[in-house]
């Protein structure tokens, strides 16, 4: 499938900003199943300095320095991306989860840091007794790891309510677990915390998901959103993705932007301002099939 993606973010500031610096993660990744045919980012006001770099996790990051005084900032990313269908995968044929822990804990060089770094907890994935208690029912002795992770994925989808008003990015996992409500970032963070509490390598993924309007209704412009899911590492299969918001494995309708330990590593736009006082942000996202 081929997608046209438009992601427009507008910041309105209470007082003028005299200078700002930003890091933008809006460029989709090139992956074995994903080809980026085109990507551009328009910034208003035009930055005094702008350059692209590859960050620590291999994501495309655009660094901006804006020196003109401004009361509004617009960052508009456009991409054309092709995504191939996921090959069939036998979850029951994966290694037992205990064996994955053993592999991740080795220190003889057989497993590199790119995997080991995702075993440790991060700011948004605090490991607590409550998190471990929630994870354990999905991990009976010697269960294949991918089968166990799918069970956890489906449990989160069934037991938590998607509620965009219940949380923000600062809401701790403990509160999400108690309230059983949140958004895709919360569910991805909860899954990561559960897996890391079991000693399993798991990483956060930001991206987009094609959404479809109800039957007979037109698709409204600007009503899509960024999405988040996670992947777990296992011997032989490598990284395998799961979407706890929808209780499934991402396929050709998921478009990957960036990998990290949690949201902080891959937030769409972050930065520092001189001035500005208060700010209000609006986001309009469109994901449309191009062919």
Residues 80 and 97 in one domain: no
Residues 210 and 125 in one domain: yes
CA angle 220, 225, 230 (to 5 degrees): 145
Domain of residue 275 covers: 2-84+267-289
**Confidence tier at 221 by pLDDT (50, 70, 90):** low
Q: Give the domain CATH number at 57.
A: 2.60.40.2250
Q: What is the pLDDT of residues 199-213, one digit of tens each?
A: 999 999 999 999 877
* Residues 6+ positions from 124 with CB-CB distance below 8 Å: 169, 173, 185, 189, 192, 262, 263, 264
Task: Tally the C-alpha atoms within 13 A of residue 276's C-alpha that lie toward its C-beta.
Answer: 20
The mean pLDDT value for 259-275 works out to 95
Establish whether the linkage from the previous residue to 2 is cis, with ω within 30° of 0. no
Per cent of the chain over pLDDT 90 is: 84
Q: What is the pLDDT of residues 5-26, one digit of tens each?
A: 999 999 999 999 999 999 999 9
Q: What is the pLDDT of residues 64-77, one digit of tens each?
A: 999 999 999 999 99
Q: What is the pLDDT of residues 30-67, one digit of tens each?
A: 999 999 999 999 999 999 999 999 999 999 999 999 99
Q: Give the domain CATH number at 225.
A: 3.10.620.30
Residues 125 and 245 in one domain: yes
């Amino acid at each position: 499938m081929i997608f046209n993606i438009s992601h427009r973010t507008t910041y309105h500031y209470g007082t003028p900003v005299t200078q700002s610096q930003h890091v933008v993660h809006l460029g989709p990744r090139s992956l074995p199943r994903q080809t980026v045919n085109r990507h551009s980012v328009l910034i208003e006001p035009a930055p005094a300095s702008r350059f692209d770099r590859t960050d620590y996790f291999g994501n495309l990051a655009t660094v901006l320095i804006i020196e003109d005084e401004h009361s509004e900032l617009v960052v508009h990313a456009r991409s054309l991306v092709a995504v191939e269908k996921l090959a069939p995968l036998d979850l029951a044929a994966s290694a037992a989860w205990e064996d994955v822990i053993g592999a991740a804990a080795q220190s003889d060089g057989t497993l590199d840091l790119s995997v080991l770094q995702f075993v440790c907890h991060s700011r948004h994935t605090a490991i607590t007794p409550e998190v471990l208690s929630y994870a354990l029912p999905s991990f009976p002795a010697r269960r294949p790891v991918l089968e166990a992770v799918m069970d956890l994925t489906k449990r989160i989808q069934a037991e938590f309510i998607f509620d965009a008003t219940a949380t923000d990015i600062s809401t701790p996992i403990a509160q999400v677990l108690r309230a059983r409500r949140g958004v895709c970032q919360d569910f991805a963070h909860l899954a990561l915390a559960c897996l890391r509490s079991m000693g399993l390598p798991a990483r956060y993924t930001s991206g987009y998901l094609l959404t479809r309007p109800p039957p007979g209704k037109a698709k409204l412009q600007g009503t899509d959103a960024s999405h988040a899911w996670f992947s777990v590492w296992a011997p032989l299969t490598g990284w395998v993705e799961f979407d706890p918001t929808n209780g499934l494995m991402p396929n050709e309708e998921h478009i990957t932007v960036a990998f990290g330990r949690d949201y902080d590593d891959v937030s769409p736009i972050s930065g520092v301002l001189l001035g500005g006082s208060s700010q209000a942000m609006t986001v309009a996202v469109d994901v449309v099939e191009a062919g």
